[in-house]
Amino acid sequence: MQTFTKQPAIFISHGAPWDVQNKDHVTHKFLRQLGNNLVKPSAIIIISGHDESEGSHFIVSSNPYPHIVHDYHPPFSFEYNTIGDPKLAETVQKLLNASGLECRADVHRGMDHGAWTILSSMFPAGDIPVVTLSMASDYDAEKHIQMGSALQPIRNENILIIGSGQTTHNLYYLMQTYRSSVSSIPEWSSGFANWLSGLAISPSQQRNKELAQWEQHPFARMAHPTPDHFVPFLVVAGASIGNATVKNEVYTYAMAAHCYIFN
């Protein structure tokens, strides 16, 4: 009988492409080591904060050769060749639909920079099949936690689930800080990150209950003026019944860029 390794579910703050691809940058070094420390997965499902549907449904990529989407400005020249897994995409679609969540397959879908920056650093050989899974554009918290829960069993088949976003992500503040050379970490960024790290090591039932109401946190709207970079964390948390290990607790231009590994 074939046995499989149970892979973790991981939330990663993906950062900017030029930082991640700089082999001397702390983020690239961390991701490379993270990839080295994992048992090689049979496939990867990645949910990016830059990938959403145009409705309340989800979209899974059934593209056998997912291409890079050059969606970053200014343009960033980079290539990462990998393969897809249409059969896994079909399994994902069936799991979500069986859970009452509408999921559609798209054979033409590629990988945005929230996916390829992380994957090319963790697994530079590009020899692990990758399936991208979008958020729903309504950003409904409970629904995305439910999506993660529906994917829980697939981790037992040596399939790695990655959520790519940012612990805190306020681009307006980032630009203001950059222009004014302010270097201190604001209370709303550290406060939200500390709250999230506390939840990550809490029992899953309590964690998911609080995450479903995350927008009520006093720093929520400063930490995430738009929910897109936080929603992948909800999916990863939903895909986990255990606690997380918090890694790479760094701040980049006042933005928290932590990593949460749910085993």
- The domain that holds 145 is classified in CATH as 3.40.830.10
User: What pLDDT is recorded for position 1?
Assistant: 43
Could you tell me if residue 87 is inside a domain? Answer: yes
pTM: 0.94
Cis link prior to 74 (omega < 30° from 0)?
A: yes
Could you tell me if residue 1 is inside a domain? Answer: no
Could you tell me if residue 200 is inside a domain? Answer: yes
Pick the closest to residue 89 from 119, 134, 40, 52 (CA basis): 134
* pLDDT one digit per residue (tens) for the chain, 263 residues: 456 789 999 999 987 777 777 788 888 889 999 999 999 999 999 999 999 999 999 999 999 999 988 777 666 677 888 999 999 999 999 999 999 999 999 999 999 999 999 999 999 999 999 999 999 999 999 999 999 999 999 999 999 999 999 999 998 887 776 655 556 889 999 999 999 999 999 999 999 999 999 999 999 999 999 999 999 999 999 999 888 989 888 887 788 999 999 98
Helix axes 86-98, 141-151, angle to 10 degrees: 120
- Characterize 181-203 residue by residue with b for buried, 16 or more Cβ atoms within 10 angstroms of its Cβ, and e for exposed: eeeebbebbbbbbebbbebbebe
- Characterize 119-144 residue by residue with b for buried, 16 or more Cβ atoms within 10 angstroms of its Cβ, and e for exposed: bbbbbeeeebbbbbbbbbeebbbebb
Could you tell me if residue 4 is inside a domain? Answer: no
Could you tell me if residue 60 is inside a domain? Answer: yes
Range of the domain at 93: 9-262
Could you tell me if residue 2 is inside a domain? Answer: no
Side chain identity, residue 92: V
User: What pLDDT is recorded for position 47?
Assistant: 98
With a CB cutoff of 8 Å and minimum separation 6, the contacts of 126 are 80, 81, 82, 83, 119, 120
Copy the structure tokens of residue 22. Answer: 């700089």
3-state secondary structure of 200: helix
- Characterize 10-49 residue by residue with b for buried, 16 or more Cβ atoms within 10 angstroms of its Cβ, and e for exposed: bbbbbbbbeebbeeebebbebbeebbeebeebbbbbbbbb
Strands 58-61 and 103-106 come out as parallel
In the chain, the number of structural domains is: 1
Could you tell me if residue 56 is inside a domain? Answer: yes
User: What pLDDT is recorded for position 168?
Assistant: 96
User: What pLDDT is recorded for position 91?
Assistant: 98
Could you tell me if residue 3 is inside a domain? Answer: no
